[in-house]
A = this chain, B = another copy of it.
Amino acid sequence: MSAKRQNTVAEKLRMKANDLTAAERKLMAALFADYPVAGLASITEFAKLANVSTPSVLRLAKKLGFSGFPALQEALRGELSAQLQNPIAKHERWAAEAPDAHILNRFADAATDNLRASLRLMDHRVFDEVARLLGARRRAIHIMGGRITGAIAHYLYTHLHMARPNVHLVPEAQALWPQYLMNLSKGDVLLAFDVRRYDARMLDFAVSAQAEGAEIVLITDQWMSPVARIASLSLPVRIEVPSSWDSNMVPLFVAEALVAAVVNHNWPDTQSRIHRLETFNETLRRGKS
Interface of A (DSSP majority class): helix
**CA distance in complex: A105, B178 (Å):** 39
Q: B92 to A104, Cβ gap below 8 A? A: no
Residues of the B chain whose Cβ atoms lie less than 8 Å from the Cβ of A249 = 249, 252-253, 256
Interface residues of A in 184-212 (CB under 8 A from B): none
Q: A260 to B37, Cβ gap below 8 A? A: no
Residues of the B chain whose Cβ atoms lie less than 8 Å from the Cβ of A247 = 256
Which single member of B40, B95, B158, B163 contacts A40 (CB below 8 Å)?
Answer: B40
Q: How far is the CB of A169 from chain B (nearest CB, A)?
A: 11
Interface residues of A in 99-116 (CB under 8 A from B): 99, 101-105, 107-108, 111-113, 115-116
Closest to A245 in B: B159
Q: A94 to B86, Cβ gap below 8 A? A: yes
26 A–B contacts from the bound complex (CB under 8 Å): A1-B99, A10-B97, A37-B84, A41-B77, A83-B92, A86-B91, A88-B88, A88-B95, A89-B92, A94-B116, A97-B120, A98-B124, A104-B127, A107-B257, A108-B116, A148-B159, A150-B154, A151-B151, A152-B155, A163-B244, A243-B260, A243-B263, A244-B270, A247-B256, A248-B252, A249-B256
Q: B242 to A103, Cβ gap below 8 A? A: no
Question: Is A93's beta carbon under 8 Å from chain B?
Answer: yes
**CA distance in complex: A68, B40 (Å):** 17
Q: How many residues of A contact B (CB 8 A)?
A: 77
Residues of the B chain whose Cβ atoms lie less than 8 Å from the Cβ of A124 = 97-98, 102, 104
Q: How far is the CB of A74 from chain B (nearest CB, A)?
A: 8
